[in-house]
Each structure stands twice: as structure tokens, then as C-alpha cells.
Amino acid sequence: MLKAHYFFALSLSEETKKYINACMEPMRLGDSFKKWVYPEDYHLTLAFLGSADELGPVMDKVGRLTHPSFPLTLSGFGTFGKGDSPRILWMGVELSGLLHRLRDLVYGACEEAGFQLDLRPFSPHITVGRKWSEEYSFTHEWLDRFQPADRHTFTATEVVLYQTHPDRLPKYEAVQTIPLQTN
């Protein structure tokens, strides 16, 4: 049996999930990415913990954080991985000082609780697809055809500790929810 993995993320409103899903529809019609993220699983990761035997200390530390809710604006699609066969398709968010501050607070609390986290720079995104199909080479011209014409803004209202369940849909289960302060 696979060991459960955990991560802290911003949850997304149903309206935002529907917006992203609507933007994704035309892409799903072709043989592009092998796996599509289930819309209920859309989120913006702040800190990936991996497997954990004891969550109490990190839940306590993150649960005591105070941070205001704040707006975020989606910025369009991008990819991670090799140029001609990306491994991740994502919807980005515009730069936000409040998002980076919140991520730093959550990240720091996780490290204080003893977790060794990824040291790569924070690149905020919402993963929507995985593993380019390799039927043909990926091009940015292909991706540009699907960029949303409008921008969608939503309010970040809570940080959630999720547990992964790779064998079911949705894959992610909320374990703890930490509300952000309303303005």
C-alpha cells in the first residue's frame, strides 16, 4: 500500500474551478496530455510535505498563522519540463506579494516542524494536466491557441492541508482548513 502524502495549498472556489475547467475543455479534445487533473483537485500548492508519520506539530504551527485573505488573478497556461514534451501543464497566477508572504509563512512553519521541503524557487501555479502524449512535438504556438481571452480574479480565503489518495477521484482530501482573515 502506498504511504499517504500531504501538502498545504490554497483551495479554489467552485467558480474558479469551473472557469479553469471551461478553459481546459478545448484542449481535452485532442491527443495532447495523457492525464488531466480532476477539477475538484485544482489547488495552488504552498508546501509539499511528502509522507508524514506525525502531523500534529505542523498542523499546530500552520494553524496559528495569521494572514489576510487576498485577491489573485489567473494569468494563463504554461508548462514545466522539456520544451517539446512537457511533463506539467498549468494555469498560472499573476505575481502577488501577499501570496509570496503567505507561502513563506507556511513554508517556514513546515520547516520549524521538521519537514525538509523543496528548495526550488516558488512558482505559483495550478496543475491541470500531466505528461505530454508525445504523438507529436509540443509547441508554444499550440498552447497559445488555448490561452483565455479574459482574466479571472478570485479571493484566497483558506489554506488547506490535503492528503493524497492516488487510487481515487478526487485524489485530494482536506485534512485541516485554516481560514485567512477577512478584510
What's the domain range around 69? 5-179
User: Where residue 2 falls among pLDDT bands split at 50, 70, 90?
Assistant: low
Tell me the torsion sign for CA atoms 112, 122, 69, 6. negative
What's the confidence (pLDDT) of residue 183? 63
The mean predicted confidence, pLDDT, of the chain is 93
Number of domains in the chain: 1
Give the pTM.
Answer: 0.93
3-state SS, residue 39: helix
Helix axes 97-112, 56-63, angle to 10 degrees: 150
What is the spatial distance between Cα 117 and Cα 111, in angstroms, rounded to a whole number? 7
Residue 135 φ/ψ region, left for φ over 0, alpha for ψ in the -120 to 50 degree band, beta for the rest: alpha
Dihedral pair phi/psi, residue 174, rounded to 5°: -70, 125
Query: Which CATH number goes with the domain that contains 127?
Result: 3.90.1140.10
Active site residues: 43, 125
